Amino acid sequence: MRFFILILIGIIGFSFCFLSKWDTRLVLVNKTSQRIKYYEEIKSLNDFIPDTTFCNSGDIYWIDANSEQVIRSQNKWDYLLKDRTDKNLRIYIFNEDTVLKYGLCKVFKNEMFIKRFDLTYKDLEKLKWRVIYDDNYAPSN
């Protein structure tokens, strides 16, 4: 029993060490009355085509209306973007119904996203690491 408790404490301690290395500065804010979906990737500045390699199994996330979500990175954003002036963070915003109706692959291939943010490290600093999606971008009903 004592051995089991020590192992459990070790696993929990290791988990906290692992999770603390995630960069959690970046926040995506949904200032609309609609729940949205989003996908992010690091891309070359010249590459405007979304990566559809894993579009059927890729990680797509959602944000409720009038709320925000931390976009975590296991690597520091400094490492991914700061000294890499040829790269940017691309965030795609999707209408939830569109993704459900057509599937993510078709949405990417036909560029059926509502908004695409292309952000360099300097852009993120200027925004104070808060990317805001609001009614200025949302399609009118």
Domain-wise residue ranges, the chain? 23-134
Mean pLDDT over each residue of the chain, to the nearest integer: 82
Return the closest-CA partner of residue 52 out of 85, 98, 101, 92: 92
Q: Which of residues 63 and 41 earns the better pLDDT score?
A: 63
Q: pLDDT band for 123, please (50, 70, 90 cuts).
A: very high
- In terms of C-beta density within 10 A (0-12 exposed, 13-18 middle, 19 or more buried), how is residue 141 classed? exposed
Instruction: Please report the pLDDT score of residue 42 as a whole number.
Output: 86
Per the CB < 8 A criterion, the answer to whether 30 and 68 are in contact is yes
Per the CB < 8 A criterion, the answer to whether 42 and 79 are in contact is no
Lowest mean pLDDT, pick from 13-22, 74-83, 95-104: 13-22
Between CA 97 and CA 130 the distance in angstroms is 25
What pTM was computed for the model? 0.76
